[in-house]
């Protein structure tokens, strides 16, 4: 599980940074990529990255401002030409379906794979055997949502030495034991999963927020997350401006991370007024003063999401 930022600017792109998009690469977990927001130029950023559109499984749109979704029509149209033939599902606020379908209809774009658009009002937007994605409404000028990606707990490791003594080799019986089932050994003994299965590993939690002021919903979505991705549009000296435009400062992002008890904070969605490295470093320093484990999101850098190393007792 890795984060890869394709755009970290707010509002408009600059020569240094593109507008908002972040990928969650899940190659080991499910051999796919999930995308959160798709600002203009996102498909160009993907071409310069190790990501492949053919692996794209889900797109989650936080809100309908252009710097978060104007890249969708082009990306959807190009995906098939880059080997994408599997279904693609896009989640987002109400109005997303009309935007996408109108764009594709008027441009007479031909989509050669199954495309599904799911509009939501928060809550659980996706769940399968391995992941659950929850969403909640934040505080912005238009409906803006955050997403909490929860990796479900993983089964513990099987004790190969014990299994070998019972004459059990890798195969179907391994799978049953992994699921917690009891099996009959080749010697005719009943073997219970609890005898050979280690403690389960706690799944990771990644919270990615859309544009927002500081609010309780952000803290709830980020509760005990391994990673929080939070906008930091302004330095706190512009807190009044941030509030007026329904955005957050770097300090406010750090306060949310600290209150929520997250492990690591990534700052993103920087105002284009912050052009130099020195100006960006001020954003990080402001956040670090409140929450030490804060860092700036850098485009075209892979950030592994580590497990905290805790088993479930």
Query: Catalytic one among 37, 67, 128, 153?
Result: 67
pLDDT in the model for residue 127 = 97
The Cα–Cα gap between 301 and 178 comes to: 35
Question: Residue 246 annotated as binding?
Answer: no
Please give the model's pTM, rounded to 2 decimal places. Answer: 0.90
Question: Residue 63 annotated as binding?
Answer: yes
Strands 115-119 and 123-127: unpaired
What are the Cα distances from residue 217, in Å, to 100, 126, 191, 196, 276? Answer: 28, 19, 46, 41, 32
Question: Residue 67 annotated as binding?
Answer: yes
209-259 pLDDT per residue, tens: 999 999 999 999 999 999 999 999 999 999 999 999 999 999 999 999 999
The Cα–Cα gap between 255 and 262 comes to: 11
56-83 pLDDT per residue, tens: 999 999 999 999 999 999 999 999 888 8
Q: Look up 128 and say whether it is catalytic.
A: no
pLDDT, averaged in runs of 10, over the chain (313 residues): 97 94 96 98 96 96 98 94 92 98 94 96 96 98 98 85 85 82 87 84 94 97 98 97 97 98 98 94 98 98 82 47
Question: Residue 269 annotated as binding?
Answer: yes
Please identify which residue in the block is written with the tokens 């160009």.
Answer: 44
CATH number of 2-154+200-304: 3.60.15.10
Residue ranges per structural domain of the chain: 2-154+200-304, 160-196
């Amino acid at each position: 599980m890795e984060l890869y930022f394709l755009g970290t600017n707010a509002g408009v792109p600059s020569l240094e940074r593109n507008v908002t998009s972040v990928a969650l690469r899940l190659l080991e977990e499910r051999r796919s990529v999930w995308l959160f927001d798709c600002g203009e130029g996102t498909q160009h950023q993907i071409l310069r990255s190790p990501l492949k559109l053919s692996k794209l499984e889900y797109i989650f749109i936080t809100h309908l401002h252009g710097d978060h979704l104007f890249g969708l029509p082009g990306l959807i149209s190009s995906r098939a030409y880059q080997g994408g033939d599997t279904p693609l599902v896009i989640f987002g606020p109400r109005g997303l379906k009309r935007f996408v379908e109108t764009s594709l209809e008027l441009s007479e774009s031909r989509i050669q794979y199954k495309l599904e658009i799911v509009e939501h009002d928060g809550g659980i937007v996706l769940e399968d055997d391995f992941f659950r994605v929850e969403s909640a409404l934040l505080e912005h000028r238009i409906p803006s949502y955050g997403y909490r990606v929860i990796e479900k707990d993983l089964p513990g490791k099987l004790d190969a030495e014990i299994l070998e003594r019972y004459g059990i080799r890798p195969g179907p019986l391994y799978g049953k034991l992994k699921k917690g089932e009891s099996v009959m050994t080749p010697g005719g003994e009943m073997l219970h999963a609890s005898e050979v299965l280690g403690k389960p590993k706690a799944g990771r939690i990644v919270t990615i927020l859309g544009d927002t002021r500081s609010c309780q919903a952000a803290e709830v979505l980020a509760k005990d997350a391994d990673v929080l991705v939070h906008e930091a549009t302004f330095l706190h000296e512009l807190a009044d401006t941030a509030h007026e435009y329904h955005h957050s400062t770097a300090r406010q992002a750090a306060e949310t991370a600290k209150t929520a008890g997250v492990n690591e904070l990534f700052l993103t969605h920087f105002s284009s007024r912050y052009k130099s490295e020195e100006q960006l470093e001020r954003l990080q320093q402001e956040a670090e003063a409140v929450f030490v484990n804060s860092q700036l999101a850098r485009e075209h850098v892979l950030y592994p999401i580590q497990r905290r190393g805790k088993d479930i007792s």
